[in-house]
Structure 1
Amino acid sequence: MIESMNLIRLQADKKSDGGDSGRGTSVITRTKPQLKKPSMYRVLLLNDDYTPMEFVIHVLERFFQKDREQATRIMLHVHNHGVGECGVFTYEVAETKVTQVMDCARENHHPLQCVMEKK
């Protein structure tokens, strides 16, 4: 994100009291735009007692592009620890993924919960 735009400042030197002809020198200063890294958000799956493990694996493969082995590992982590990280994304991407997962879970009548938190 750009914090400061290219600003051009003109500064005219003040006339000296010594009767100068009125000419001043101008200085043009350009500031470089400062880029700020976007905030990152963790997308998390929460464990429940009803969503089938196979469905969780399917969600991880479909929405987070995990291969079968990675998806199984994350699913088992969620199952054993109550929560597991699916990935880290910018706000808009994380929000979209949470919505996609929640919509898919509802369409398939599963209570799976997906949330995001600032890293």
Structure 2
Amino acid sequence: METNSKVIERTNIKIEEPRKYKVIMHNDDFTTMEFVVAILNIIFNKSLEEANKIMMEVHKSGKGIAGIYPYDIAISKANKAMIMAKEEGFPFKLTVEED
């Protein structure tokens, strides 16, 4: 006697959103406002209006959020911005913190 039986396996896969990280810009007395706006525009894809708003927040309060991204992207953008700053002779600092 032949039976055609099928085994059905269920696997519960839990998909989670990746953790997000804030890229924080820190104010200093040497990096120009124009450079900060350019970094926000070029690296963080902010409009000029939004870049100016973030730059003023950094200037007035000492720091501001350039963007919120998955970890690898946040680190990559922060590093790219700091390399550009170093090439221009600015001591510009960015940090990455979990959101």
Aligned match of 2:63 in 75, 79, 83?
83
After TM superposition, give the deviation of residue 33 of structure 1 in Å.
Answer: 1.4
Amino acid at match of 2:56: L
After TM superposition, give the deviation of residue 28 of structure 1 in Å.
Answer: 4.9
TM-score (norm 2): 0.89
Aligned match of 1:36 in 16, 27, 42?
16
CA deviation digits over 1:65-96, x for unaligned, max 9? 11111111100000000000011000010010
> Higher helix share goes to which structure?
2
1:1-119 to 2 correspondence within 5 Å?
A: 28-119=8-99
TM-score (norm 1): 0.75
Unmatched 5+ residue regions in structure 1? 1-26
After TM superposition, give the deviation of residue 32 of structure 1 in Å.
Answer: 2.4
**Higher RCO (C-alpha 8 Å, min separation 6):** 2
Q: C-alpha distance in 2, partners of 1:96/1:112?
A: 15
Rg larger in structure: 1
Q: C-alpha distance in 1, partners of 2:17/2:48?
A: 32
Unmatched 5+ residue regions in structure 2? 1-6
Q: C-alpha distance in 1, partners of 2:42/2:8?
A: 54
Corresponding pairs, count:
94
Would you identify which runs of 4 or more consecutive aligned residues in structure 1 move more than 3 Å?
Answer: none
Percent identity of equivalent pairs: 38
Residue 12 of structure 2 aligns to a residue whose secondary structure is coil
> Higher strand share goes to which structure?
1
